[in-house]
A and B are shown apart, each in its own frame.
Chain A
């Protein structure tokens, strides 16, 4: 520390957590299977999530084939259709998106980005993955039980979900509920880890307001998930009791197909409240990590600091808080007291303000930037288009009276696929292209990446943008066949066929991504430690891929925020977070 510009009393002492020899895994099993290294757990989480995500993709083809060619595919009947709808939705929302953002990117990036050696509870972290894997296997196992998986719709609304008119009412629903309960147990172990690691294990100099927005997004999502998942947990336990022991939490006296049932006094709407108390925060549990990651992708590849960092952080927190009090907008026509409509419409539209501010700051980051059109950057731009498009249709559905005609139509399907299907999935792809060099030490093929991007982005937009208009027309969702319906013109079928063909093409185009992913493992160009010349801490590890313990002998010390791009006076167009201060520097 001889630089005179650094006053002695400000220069931080070296970070304290040292490398401990005993801590390393020595056998193959503890290194790669029952591993406690967050980076390996991250790969396990992501690998499982993507695998089950491919199943969900195939199921979406089943749905689309039926909608375009009703009755033409011999193995698709009403039962298979509803089972596919249910499993596709549940897998994508919970087992794929939640798992990959928090378990995958959260595990890989949090310790590296905050300068920690690992998650604070590595053993619990390992358990978290294995419980998640068991939950996934239990869910998929329902295909091999009599009656198959449940076809209750992903919302699992009782009484339908536990009655005989529903496919999979014998075993499918029980396995679905058991699987969700397991998932939540596994997630809680992981989520506590992410939160405590961010709060307790940041290296010296890494203040909260110097964390990359990726960490902020994942951190806020983990806190929200810890608050929201218990709602789903109790709902699942109670529904399981209603199904197996005949309790009446959610089912009143009913007559099903001419037969008086034993249930008495339960409330179906209570389940909806519990489900959406989880379900709406869930949207932001998926969205906030995507927001964070996309902020970092844009910043790195536009060589410019994210615009309005502090606003971005406060917007994440505001969205997180508000998202806990908007769940009723899923229930405007559920028969709950209509006076709630006023409250939930106000909170829901209020959330548009911080969300819009984030969008403005993303595009303002591009102003006077130095934009490199790398594959991660393209995916980030694709996210912006699909997220803005999906976000504004949320203003239709959140504004209670406008929701009334649109609810339960294909408009809703188009909206949520655009905003929490396509947009986050584009971020996942962008993030994989971006961090792959750190994870493997090799670059992915840029040319294949760009082909993959354009097919996926334009294809997905062509699938879901026109679908809104079928919803405006009034076509209901969850109809496995429209049949003869006076208000539906023949041209709607033409559009459905177009959507289906595009969906098949976009789905198959994902093989380009997987080919690139596996080919680059061996044949990708060597990446070096920091191929994107990024400033945040994960690119400054002594080894690439980072070893166990991440930082070798000494933890890094942080001197500035992670957005030191194109700083005036700096020799290069990026200043790593752990580079010693330069003369006259006034970074946050």
Chain B
């Protein structure tokens, strides 16, 4: 009796916790509202299943607990019932899966007009690269990396000369424009993670990965690393600032190009050798 009651209380407590919990998803700041919707649907379907199964169990515990003289029924199987349960479950799974796959289809289809930017992870900070006037990012390779070329841009690639380098860990983005984030790591696995945009993706050394989103809310967001990258992992932070197009343009023109950074470094080197 009391056991059935405890099981009911577990169900009721879980539902109350869900309703009253102050720990909810962060306010969304990207186009990925569909992800939240799919999760909401998943909660409804699976929550109903959980409640139904555990309450049924609790009823059985209450109704069929041992009494002197009771004898259980003998029913090895009931193929009709089992088939029905199989069909209902399959339908429930399809209800979850179909919208999920549709949204995944959007997630992996980058809009043609998306602005390409690059995020580079290194233990334990973030750098960024934006295309210059030619609207194209130059090629890069780990072997070009040295103290004057932290992101390993190819010095010979003309497309890379006007690329804008952002090394302070602060990325600005214009509101309402789709962004394709190209991800590159020069040491270990990292993961570009901003909870408010919902999307995330690993940075994998040796290859370039990507994901896309459209910022929909002006504001300042924290970039975390979501792939364990050593003892400094929690400290690997960056900032993502979503602002109006005009503010973004102002910020962009203030950034140094690859060419400029090499010149200033070369100048510094010359001065150093003259002394």
A contact set with B: CB distance below 8 Å: 78-79, 82, 151-153, 157, 159-160, 163, 165-167, 251-258, 260, 265-269, 302-305, 307-311, 333-335, 338-339, 341-342, 345-346, 349-350, 352-353, 356-357, 359-361, 363-364, 366-373, 378, 381, 384-385, 388-389, 392-393, 395-396, 399-402, 404-409, 454, 458, 461, 465-466, 469-470, 472-474, 476, 478-483, 485-487, 489, 491-492, 495, 563, 565-568, 573, 588
Contact = CB atoms under 8 A, between A and B. Distances in A.
A3 to B, nearest CB: 21
A489 B42 CA distance: 26
A373 B93 contact: no
Contacts of B153: none
A153 B199 CA distance: 23
B61 interface: yes
B89 interface: yes
B54 A159 contact: no
26 contacts: A160-B188, A165-B229, A252-B206, A257-B187, A303-B66, A303-B71, A339-B108, A345-B97, A352-B89, A368-B64, A369-B72, A370-B70, A388-B50, A392-B49, A395-B93, A399-B38, A399-B42, A399-B97, A401-B35, A401-B103, A404-B35, A461-B10, A472-B24, A487-B26, A487-B222, A563-B76
What does DSSP make chain B's interface, helix, strand, loop or mixed?
mixed
Contact of B71 (A341, A359, A370): A370
B163 interface: no
B200 A167 contact: no
Contacts of B259: none
B207 A335 contact: yes
B10 A385 contact: yes
Contact of A357 (B72, B82, B193): B82
Given A307-B75, A495-B23, A363 B230 contact: no
Interface string B19-33: 001111110000010
B90 to A, nearest CB: 6
B198 interface: yes
A253 B196 CA distance: 33
A159 B188 contact: yes
Those 10 A-B pairs whose CB atoms lie nearest each other, nearest first: A252-B206, A165-B230, A474-B195, A335-B209, A392-B46, A366-B60, A368-B73, A304-B72, A408-B226, A566-B72
Given A165-B232, A369-B64, A407-B200, A473 B97 contact: no
Contact of A308 (B38, B42, B66, B78): B78
Given A366-B60, A400-B104, A404-B35, A371 B77 contact: no
Contacts of B39: 396, 402, 405-406
Nearest to A159: B188
B191 A333 contact: yes
Interface in B89-129: 89-90, 93, 96-97, 100-101, 103-104, 107-108, 122-123
B233 interface: yes
B202 interface: yes
A252 B206 CA distance: 5
B242 interface: no
B173 interface: no
Contacts of B164: none
Nearest to A253: B142
A255 B140 CA distance: 13
A256 B24 CA distance: 38
A532 B17 CA distance: 38
Given A254-B206, A478-B228, 6 more contacts: A252-B205, A370-B66, A395-B42, A402-B100, A405-B32, A566-B72
A267 B77 contact: no
B231 A159 contact: no
A308 B22 contact: no
Contacts of A255: 122, 142, 145, 152, 186-187
Contacts of B193: 408, 476
B188 A470 contact: no
Nearest to A587: B76
Contacts of A381: 3, 7, 57, 61
B166 interface: no
Given A163-B188, A573-B71, A371 B93 contact: no
Given A369-B64, A400-B104, A356 B222 contact: no
Contact of B201 (A256, A307, A333, A458): A333
B242 to A, nearest CB: 14
B104 A357 contact: no
B38 A334 contact: no
Contact of A160 (B82, B103, B206, B228): B228
Contacts of B195: 405, 473-474, 487
Contacts of B38: 399, 401-402
